Structure 1
Amino acid sequence: MATKTELSPTARESKNAQDMQVDEVLIPRKVPSLCSARYGIALVLHFCNFTTIAQNVIMNITMVAMVNSTSPQSQFNGSSEGLPVDSFGDLNKAPESLSAKAPVYDWSPQIQGIIFGAVGYGGILTMAPSGYLAGRVGTKRVVGVSLFATSFLTLCIPLAADFGIVFLIVTRIVQGLSQCSVIGGQFAIWEKWGPPHERSRLCSIALSGMLLGCFSAILIGGFISESLGWPFVFYIFGGIGCVCCLLWFIVIYDDPTSYPWISTSEKEYIISSLKQQVRSSQQPLPIKAVLRSLPIWSICLGCFSHQCYITATALLTLSCALSTLCQSGIYINVLDIAPRHSSFLMGASRGFSSMAPVIVPTVSGFLLSQDPEFGWRNVFFLLFAINLSGLIFYLIFGEADVQDWAKERKLTRL
């Protein structure tokens, strides 16, 4: 009995030690974010989003230099070589800084609206499939190939415009297919790289590249057009995209287990953090439940209304600044309510919102042609109504908890 009494505390101590070891394995130790692999992935995605959005926006800047008039009275759709003339028709008084070799086209506001909106047609078709495909074959392939495609097509824009309006519109549509595949396919990477409590931060870092890309393209696009000619805007940003694509294929891996430069502690931290989200590849996407889910529709409508944009300058600047808060709210809300199907649903919501870049330029061109003097006022009133309705719908039906149809279900057989 004495022997048993002496061994009993030792056995208890041994058991407690084992429990402490188990707890250390189950409870992940947070790895500092500075210089970590997962934040490096977010930074690379930041530059990819910077490149993609810059390539999307530069047409809005170069259009001023590409056409000889942006007024609604221009109805002729031909093209001409040389400098735009001034209001008195004097070619010699045209701005000397513009390149004489850059072609100038006569495009009406309706044609310009179609050119602006053409890139959005691709988004409607590819945003959701790209997210689903990235979840199946890997984000590295989907985003990498799409990034190269949009960069190459950006280089081809001046040549396509020279061939004719049809070639330019087709090029823009295919470019939209590629750009939206980059945006829709990137979210699948956080299913294996993003610890649940860090996903919002990681996604925000990656998505903030969109704002920087838009800002940079608007800031320097005009300077490049004035000094070198508008074709060089496409050449420069297309070349940046090719370099970024090379960086993508070298640095990015689909999961931390295959990443060659990640530390052991960070790898264990990410893997142990994701063990709580067991994913069954056999569980299908509940399409009917998704279509009946008001939180999903609130995300889609919120993204749509956000995509649709005086003291005008002050209000527009403030609007752009505040709209960036949507990146860490509406746009990644799917990761909260349905992490299991986030890659597809993120692409689906983005795809739904991509109808806005198609509809808005076309409708704006129509309103401007109908009322050249007050057309812009009607455009902004319409956009205000769309934004407000999307906000109200999201505030009423938006959720942050995992939905019942997105939870793990154990299949039992009778």
Structure 2
Amino acid sequence: IGVTAILTLLTPLAAKGGIGLLIAVRIIEGVFEGVTFPCIHAVWSRWAPPTERSRMASIAFAGNYAGTVVSMPLSGIFANAYGWESVFYIFGVVGCIWFVAWMFFIKTSPEVDHWISPKEKEFILGSLGRTEGVKEKIKHPWRGILTSAAVWALVASHFSENWGFYTLLTQLPTFLKDTMHFQLEKTGFISA
């Protein structure tokens, strides 16, 4: 999150440096942002009791889409009032604040967190079971995974959904402004 926030802050400068630099910055940002969803599962595995994981996942993934719904209108307002660069500066600063707060408040496991009560810590650890010291090496069936029709169906489905979602997310405001002649501020609200 910290790296993506810094790269978001640098995006306007990269754009002024040329298309190659802009693409490089955005690709690097995507690489760092791409690990967010897989990493959140590791957080849940250490913090969420099994009976609460589905709820936590639903809230987190819904938050991703809710953030898009909130940020699109705000982006239109910021860009219209302060210029397109302001969108990257404002959201970059918000990302930096989020990162600092995360590093301060979120701990790797309940054992090392001094913010939670002993009762809550015992509840979480009791529901998860103690796994420290387990050094069992797991053999993953990679061949079976990579040759599974069900896995490739999920990959195709996820790719298609993301392609449609991110194409609309990135191209709809431009289409509404350039082709339909909407005001920039309104395109954010409509896109959301």
TM-score range, shorter chain: 0.7 to 0.9
Q: Which amino acid counterpart does residue 146 of structure 2 have in structure 1? A: L
Confirm or deny that 1:197 pairs with 2:61: no
Offset of 1:280 from its aligned partner? 5.4
Match of 1:10 in 2: none
Q: Which runs of 5+ in 2 are unaligned?
A: 172-178, 180-192
Confirm or deny that 1:237 pairs with 2:127: no
Instruction: Give TM-score, length-normalised by structure 1.
Output: 0.38
- Tell me the distance in 1 between the aligned counterparts of 2:103 and 2:15: 31
Instruction: Give TM-score, length-normalised by structure 2.
Output: 0.77
Confirm or deny that 1:187 pairs with 2:41: yes
Runs of 4+ in structure 1 off by over 6 angstroms are: 276-279
Confirm or deny that 1:285 pairs with 2:134: no
Match of 1:23 in 2: none
Indicate the structure with greater helix content: 2
Distance 1:297 1:199, change over 3 A: farther
Q: Which amino acid counterpart does residue 308 of structure 1 have in structure 2? A: W
Q: Deviations over 1:208-259 (max 9, x none)?
A: 2211221122111111111111111110000000000000101111111111
Distance 1:280 1:201, change over 3 A: farther
Match of 1:170 in 2: 24
Offset of 1:195 from its aligned partner? 1.4
- Tell me the distance in 1 between the aligned counterparts of 2:150 and 2:110: 31
Match of 1:12 in 2: none
Distance 1:153 1:298, change over 3 A: same
Confirm or deny that 1:152 pairs with 2:6: yes
Offset of 1:159 from its aligned partner? 0.8
Aligned residues: 170
Distance 1:273 1:293, change over 3 A: farther
Match of 2:119 in 1: 265
Confirm or deny that 1:304 pairs with 2:159: yes
- Tell me the distance in 1 between the aligned counterparts of 2:147 and 2:129: 29
Structure of greater relative contact order (alpha carbons < 8 Å, 6+ residues apart): 2
Secondary structure class of the residue paired with 2:102? helix
- Tell me the distance in 2 between the aligned counterparts of 1:266 and 1:215: 34
Secondary structure class of the residue paired with 1:189? helix
Larger Rg: 1
Q: Which runs of 5+ in 1 are unaligned?
A: 1-146, 310-319, 321-356, 365-372, 374-414
Q: 2:62 aligns with which of 196, 202, 208?
A: 208
Distance 1:213 1:167, change over 3 A: same
Q: Percent identity?
A: 34
CA RMSD of aligned residues (A): 2.7
Q: Deviations over 1:139-177 (max 9, x none)?
A: xxxxxxxx1111111111111111111111111111111
- Tell me the distance in 2 between the aligned counterparts of 1:222 and 1:178: 25
Please show how residues 250-399 of structure 1 align to structure 2 within 5 Å.
250-275=104-129, 281-309=136-164
- Tell me the distance in 2 between the aligned counterparts of 1:269 and 1:247: 25
